[in-house]
Amino acid sequence: FLETAAYFCMKPKMGEKEVSPHSFFSIWHEFCSDFKDFWKKENKLILQERVKEAEEVCRQKKGKSLYNIRPKHDSGIVSKNCIDT
């Protein structure tokens, strides 16, 4: 624990000889909760951007027709009978 506190340059509060676990972990807890909140917000923004991109791709694909519709040509028994009469 003391090596970890020294790594993060924690200094003991006034009147204490060493860094107490309570003071270290209270700061660490605040950092972790803030980081978690920012992480969730950032993930939400990224998700919204990806949804917008996917919607745009769908909109573009709907604009382009994947198949061609050709006009119906009269060919068959019915059309031949109508012309002969």
Tens-digit pLDDT profile for residues 50-74: 999 999 988 887 776 666 667 776 6
* Residue 64 forms part of a structural domain: yes
Count: domains in the chain? 1
Query: Does 23 reside within a domain?
Result: no
Residue 79 lies in a domain: no
Output the pLDDT for position 78: 59
Question: Residue 49 has which token pair?
Answer: 């951007």
- Say if pTM beats, i.e. exceeds, 0.85: no
Q: Is residue 63 part of a domain?
A: yes
What is the extent of the structural domain holding 48? 31-68
Give the C-alpha distances (Å, rounded to integers) separating 42 from 35, 49, 67: 10, 11, 40
